[in-house]
Amino acid sequence: MRVAHIITRMIVGGAQENTLFNCQDLVRDHGDEVFLLTGPSPGPEGELLQQVQPGGTQMITIPSLRRAIHPWHDWRAYRQIKKQLKRLQPDVVHTHSAKAGMLGRLAAWSLKLPVVVHTVHGAPFHPYQSALARRLFRRCEKFAARRCHRLISVADAMTDQLVEAGVADRDKFITIQSGMDVASFTAANQLRSQRRQELGFEDDQVVVGKIARLFPLKGHCYLVEAAAEIVEYHPEVHFLLVGDGILRATLEQQIEAAGLADHFHFTGLVPPDQIPGLIGAMDLLVHTSLREGLARALPQALLAGKPVISYDVDGAREVVIPDQTGILLPARAIEPLAEAVCRLAADRALRERLGKEGQRRFSVPFGHQQMTRRIRALYEDLLG
């Protein structure tokens, strides 16, 4: 079949990795003809397509497709998307992200293309927006939901949020977990000693990792606040922050002011194929973001046999099972975060038990081939 994926930008991020795996699998495993329509990807997050080959996917750039709302650019992007879809005549149009999801669905629906599907990687409206913005985005999503045949959620929590907001009825949603290269994560510990040596960690140090862009709502500031108490009781604990972004200088200043510079280590921007090795160097992973559909870092760490500590937001509780795979905490909690890290830092056997259970539970559901098989089966069902 001919499939056109549409996404706002191909930065280094979870939704983008998910989309690229889906495109590559459709070409390689199913022999489909796949097109990826995307806007430019400037910014500190890094461009995914500079680091990972599209694998037979035919790339089409939509110059006016940008993340920020801009009526003139958005109108031009809609016209450009519609022109390309009219030329390609795909059997399936599959959209991702808020901007491309809105414009892509409108264009595909207006052309009466056979199947239009949208993936919800994270709700575009959330409590940290103004009330006006929240209402606007909710109405936009409700409008766009009527112009597609099915909605794919990467976590049940996304379905719950959108149904409660009146975006669409529950029977229009299906949950398909975001896929990844499971084998690379289950083998993450094979180079553990080498990676730790390269990063400058001693054998007796406990490495607490966090994988996220250094951006607002990612919650790095809460980890830094908790770190002062953690290091006081467990001076062997060090923190590895994987990612880059606009808050790096601010975080470095906060860390320096707290006297913790020797305990924090920044990797900067790294390509996706280095993530398994970095997780292998960790002893546990923390996730303190305030909103995220289902952060890929959580199942990635569990696949590598590492326990996780996460704020209880969005889809986190679907993989962070208390006292089975990790520890769930209230959002923005500082003291409980410090206590949870101290508990795992002091108990190696507990870390191993939680990590092994996570690896056992999630090795199958998060394979990218499994994700693509389920998505393609949905395409076939809708086409039928």
Q: Is 325 helix (H, G, I), strand (E, B) or coil?
A: coil
Distances in Å between the alpha carbon of 227 and those of 99, 180, 243, 287? 37, 30, 18, 14
Residue-wise DSSP of 210-254: EES-SSTTS-HHHHHHHHHHHHHH-TTEEEEEEB--TTHHHHHHH
Q: Torsions phi, psi of 39, nearest 5?
A: -85, 180
Distance CA 279, CA 277 (A): 5
What's the mean per-residue pLDDT of the chain? Answer: 95
**For residues 26 and 34, is the Cβ–Cβ distance under 8 A?**
yes
Lowest mean pLDDT among 44-48, 118-122, 226-230, 343-347: 44-48
pLDDT at 98 over 80: yes
Report pLDDT digits (tens) over 287-344. Answer: 999 988 899 999 999 999 999 999 999 999 999 999 999 999 999 999 999 999 999 9
The hierarchical CATH code for the domain 2-179+367-383 is 3.40.50.2000
pLDDT at 42 over 80: no
| The pLDDT of residue 45 | 67
Question: Are the folds of 2-179+367-383 and 182-362 the same?
Answer: yes
**For residues 5 and 36, is the Cβ–Cβ distance under 8 A?**
yes
| The pLDDT of residue 53 | 77
Residue among 207, 199, 176 nearest 367 (CA): 176
The model carries a pTM of 0.91
| The pLDDT of residue 162 | 96
Residue among 137, 133, 270 nearest 198 (CA): 270
Domain coordinates in residue numbering, the chain: 2-179+367-383, 182-362
| The pLDDT of residue 146 | 97
| The pLDDT of residue 43 | 66
Q: What is the mean pLDDT of residues 268-295?
A: 94
Q: What is the mean pLDDT of residues 9-27?
A: 92
Q: Which CATH architecture has domain 182-362?
A: 3-Layer(aba) Sandwich (3.40)
Q: How many CB atoms lie within 10 A of CB 192?
A: 17
Distance CA 238, CA 171 (A): 46
Q: What is the mean pLDDT of residues 104-131?
A: 93
Residue-wise DSSP of 293-324: SS-THHHHHHHTT--EEEE--TTGGGT--BTT
